[in-house]
Amino acid sequence: MSYFLVIATTVVIYAVLSVGLNIAVGYAGQPHLAQGAFLGIGAYMVAVFSTRYGLSFWLCVLIAIVVTALSGFVLGVISLRLRDDFLAIVTIGLNFVVVAIFQYVPWFGGATGVYAIPLPSIGGHEFGNPEFLLLGLVMLAISVAVSGYISRTWLGLGLASIRDDELASASSGTPVASFKIAAFVVASAIAGMAGALYAPFLSAVTPTSFGFTESIVMLAMVMFGGVGTIRGAILGAIVLGALPEAFRFVSDYRLLIFGAILVLVLRFQPHGIIGTDSAAANAWKRLFSRPPKTEYDASCNDAASAMSVAVHGEPEQPGDGKD
Amino acid sequence: MPLLEVTDVTVQFGGVKALSKINLSLEPGEFCAVIGPNGAGKTTLFNVLAGVIRPTSGSIRLDGEPVHHAKPATMRHRGVARTFQVSRVFESLTVVENVAIAAAGQRLLSPSRALRRYRADKDVLARVDQLLLDTGLSHVAGTRADALNIGDVRRLDIARALAGDPKLLLLDEPAAGIGADGMRSLGALITSLRGRGVSVLLVEHYVGWALSLVDRAVVLDMGEIIAEGLPDSVRADPQVIKAYLGSSGEEHSADENGPAQSEANGERVHVSENVTTPRHFGSGGNEPGGALLEIRDLAVNYGHVSAVHKVDLTVAAGEFVTVVGANGAGKSSLIKAVMGLVPAAGRMTLDGRDLLAAPAHRRTALGVGYVPEGRRVFSGLTVEENLKVAATAQPAVVSQLIDQVFEMFPSLARRRNQFAGNLSGGEQSMLAMGRAMMVQPSLLVADEITLGLAPVVVDELFEHLVRMAHSGVAVLLAEQNAAVALASADRAYVMEVGTMTLSGAATELRRNQRVIDAYLQMA
């Protein structure tokens, strides 16, 4: 039971991370291979402040979120000067910079990291495995709510336009720079929040647990499930987070299987398993959407058809208003 | 006070002056067309006004306020909206969402202001709805932009630009690729904008269409304004016609084919003036009358856009054939289809062998040499390396071929160890031709070799093409500079909006008024 709870909590933390990452990668279309570093920054803030300075866990969570949001702001500013593959390389580099800082700055505990991180408590009740899972789920709910809200705001719409065509977006009046920075800040803050839970959950943090590999895994989760959608980010975290455990019986080959599944999915389902335009999403739409009364439904997603109804009140006849 | 005042605007890219001392003013509500041949600087002017490019010197005033250091988003907030030559709509968003972004105005000023559900802003959505009605897009309001047909994509681009009620609307070649019906209904849409009080600056290569929509026209050539005035006066201006067709053919042969010219050139002029049917130069090895390249019913489509439609064309061995036509007529697509660089349907054979089935790199082996538009030499390699890279033959043969190329282009021989990137434009063109010759082609296809080159250099390049044809290599050249091309080629096709509208001996076409009409798109 306790083993299951540990796996479940790990998966939920990954889900929080990939839902956050999806804001930068999926909504804003920016390559981002440093979510693992932001997880690390969040985790280290909690580890250091709660172990060495005895601050309460909840205060540490706040510190973790603020510090990662600021780090995200820096990455956002950097992203303005760089495009596509260059930005990807810079974000990769960021992992190594952050790991090196953890390793060589004594304040972070050096190569051995920080251990004996106190367990969080609430009203004098110390956290056990169920509480970790519960808090993880709360954090997931928060990140889903934030992410879902953004996707319905002008900010979300503006980010989508930047993703589709940056020049056209600027020409339509979107302040591209500040919108991009906002996406990186929110994505990072969510990673910081996840990190704040991760540190006491593991009870120890070491520099090398937050490197490039972790960042890759998180990006893979987003891509696997379906980039740009919250459901995809969560499914990716569940499948890829639980997969190594599910294949424990073939321990030597599990990374091989993990890799093979990833390659096959991206080759045959480039929109992810349940992303927009994926085979599954289209089948779902065919099965469960009402037969189209107008020509709207043919190709629009849920938000869009909801929106057009909101705009029009009721469907119009095709050809209305034309010429 | 004029709405827009452009004073002495110059744009320089490195050593090239894309615009030189442009003066232009636009009254509120005025519709003005900017026309001019390919490379005239239309797009540069457009980008300057849209805030994409900063002018090197000069000033731009909007409502009397200087704006020349503005960025695209700022220009937009100050009332200048634009469309894109290749429409850049937000493909993953619906039509409503596309327009809503542009209509959001203050909502999009900062991320914190943008933290509001867009569906809650009924006033914005009501404006969007009205705009979609005005632009004839209501029936596709909820459709994702990537599922629209090309005509609706153009409408969406315009609707998006109109959102937020701009003072000045910049339209960048809105008619490109939408076909005759699309142009008619788009013309009606543009005319319907007159009630809005918006000024329109229309950059367009469909000259006849553009002139029918505007109050005034400005003609650009080589970065300068060469004519300006009412549509009718611009249409009849001999300087404008000359700019479109290139330097006049008659003058060309009289002025420049003087005694100093090579004998081959003199002979060519003499011969071509007597010829009315396709003729064949010596050593191609084909039976007389047999076509080397034979194209039947060729079609090239890019998504919804039909670039080439039902084209028939033949080139005999050793014949110099040119395809002329205005920018956007489909010439480049035709050439690329011959080389296998764009997917094409129909029938195409070279010396009886099927070409369409072969990928581009196999077509060189079948005997097609290619001179791409813009030359595309490998700038980091030396002249000799450029030639070697293209060679497919045995090493011993390769050095012979290189010698032949250097014999043909002595100025390249002198620069054999220089980097190709350091060559002049004319030399790069020669290198591109020489590189194409390295595959020992029976057919050389070339795309716009005159673009951006001085007239003297153009003449020299054409001499080389004629000489190649004489030596038995057939030439198929797509060229916008009709005057020069028709003066040198044996036979010509005139291409308009994706189809061949005229063909015949080059000398006859030179005198054909229909060619001028084709260029000015009066048909």
pLDDT tens digit sequence for B2-52: 899 999 999 987 767 789 899 999 999 999 999 887 678 888 898 888 888
Is the pLDDT at B258 greater than 60, yes or no? no
Confidence of residue B521 (pLDDT cuts 50, 70, 90): low
Which chain B residue's Cα is nearest to A315?
B139
CB contact under 8 A, B50 and A299: no
Strand order across the beta sheet in which B443-447 lies: B368-371, B443-447, B474-479, B320-324, B491-496, B499-505
Confidence of residue B246 (pLDDT cuts 50, 70, 90): low
CB contact under 8 A, B97 and A307: yes
Query: CA-CA distance, B166 to A40, in Å (whole number)?
Result: 48
* Residues A97, A98, A103, A104, CA torsion sign: positive
- Tokens, residue A9: 């909590």
Of B52, B102, B107, the CB nearest to A172: B102
Of A171, A175, A308, the CB nearest to B141: A308
Give residues 262 to 281 of A whose Cβ lies within 8 Å of B.
276
- Which residues is B299 bridged to in the sheet? B345
Query: CA-CA distance, A161 to A28, in Å (whole number)?
Result: 8
Least trusted range by pLDDT, from A125-129, A297-301, B99-103, B286-290: A297-301
B144 touches chain A (CB under 8 A): yes
What contacts B233, CB < 8 A, 6 or more positions away?
none
Query: CA-CA distance, B151 to B181, in Å (whole number)?
Result: 9
Which has the higher per-residue pLDDT, A179 or B269?
A: A179
B139 touches chain A (CB under 8 A): yes
Question: What kind and span of H or E run contains B156?
Answer: helix B150-162
Exposure of B510 in the CB half-sphere (CA atoms within 13 A): 23
Q: What is the pLDDT of residues B199-231, one digit of tens each?
A: 999 998 788 889 999 999 999 888 889 889 998
Q: How far is CA A176 from the centre of its chain?
A: 21
Mean pLDDT of B174-194: 84
- Which residues is B348 bridged to in the sheet? B295
Is the pLDDT at B273 greater than 60, yes or no? no
Of B73, B94, B132, the CB nearest to A173: B73
- Tokens, residue A235: 């499914």
Q: What is the pLDDT of residues B112-157, one digit of tens each?
A: 888 888 888 888 999 999 999 989 999 999 999 988 888 888 889 9
Is the pLDDT at B267 greater than 80, yes or no? no
Of B101, B110, B139, the CB nearest to A157: B101
Residue type (1 letter), A188: S
Alpha-carbon gap: A133 to the closest alpha carbon of chain B (Å) = 30
Is the pLDDT at B455 greater than 90, yes or no? no
Q: Token pair 């367990």 is at which residue? A: A119
A302 touches chain B (CB under 8 A): no
CB contact under 8 A, A173 and B77: yes
Q: What is the pLDDT of residues B342-367, one digit of tens each?
A: 999 999 999 888 999 888 888 988 88
Is the pLDDT at B82 greater than 60, yes or no? yes
Which residues of chain A have a pLDDT value below 50?
292-323
Give residues 46 to 65 of B whose Cβ lies within 8 Å of A.
50, 52
CB contact under 8 A, B101 and A299: no
Give residues 166 to 185 of B whose Cβ lies within 8 Å of A.
185
CB contact under 8 A, A321 and B109: no
Alpha helices in chain A (DSSP H): 2-22, 35-51, 57-81, 84-104, 129-151, 154-164, 166-171, 176-202, 212-225, 230-246, 254-268, 279-288, 302-312
Q: How many CB atoms lie within 10 A of CB A255?
A: 12
Mean pLDDT of B435-446: 92
Q: How many CB pairs under 8 A join A and B?
A: 172
Of B105, B116, B139, the CB nearest to A319: B139
Is the pLDDT at B233 greater than 60, yes or no? yes
Among A146, A150, A166, A171, the strongest candidate for a mutation testing the B interface, having the largest count of B CBs within 10 A, is A171
CB contact under 8 A, B73 and A161: no
Which has the higher per-residue pLDDT, B326 or B89?
A: B89
B88 touches chain A (CB under 8 A): yes
Exposure of B292 in the CB half-sphere (CA atoms within 13 A): 30
pLDDT score for B247: 54
Which chain A residue's Cα is nearest to B122?
A311
Exposure of A314 in the CB half-sphere (CA atoms within 13 A): 1
Query: CA-CA distance, B278 to B30, in Å (whole number)?
Result: 50
Alpha-carbon gap: A77 to the closest alpha carbon of chain B (Å) = 15
* Residues B122, B124, B129, B133, CA torsion sign: positive
Residue B444, φ and ψ in degrees, nearest 5: -105, 120
CB contact under 8 A, B92 and A171: no
Which chain B residue's Cα is nearest to A306?
B142
Q: ipTM of the predicted structure?
A: 0.81
B296 touches chain A (CB under 8 A): no
B417 touches chain A (CB under 8 A): no
Is the whole-model pTM more than 0.80? no
Q: What is the pLDDT of residues A16-70, one digit of tens each?
A: 999 999 999 999 999 999 999 999 999 999 999 999 998 999 999 999 999 999 9
Of A160, A182, A296, the CB nearest to B111: A182
Which chain A residue's Cα is nearest to B98?
A161
Residues of chain A contacting residue B84, judged by C-beta atoms under 8 Å apart: 168, 171
Residues of chain A contacting residue B125, judged by C-beta atoms under 8 Å apart: 310-311
Of A173, A309, A323, the CB nearest to B164: A173
- Tokens, residue A5: 């709870």
What contacts A68, CB < 8 A, 6 or more positions away?
A38, A41, A42, A45, A188, A189, A191, A192, A193, A195
Q: What is the pLDDT of residues B370-400, one digit of tens each?
A: 999 888 889 889 999 999 988 888 888 888 8
CB contact under 8 A, A170 and B72: yes
Question: What kind and span of H or E run contains B172?
Answer: strand B168-172
B93 touches chain A (CB under 8 A): yes
How are beta strands B368-371 and B443-447 bridged, if at all? Answer: parallel
Mean pLDDT of B429-441: 91
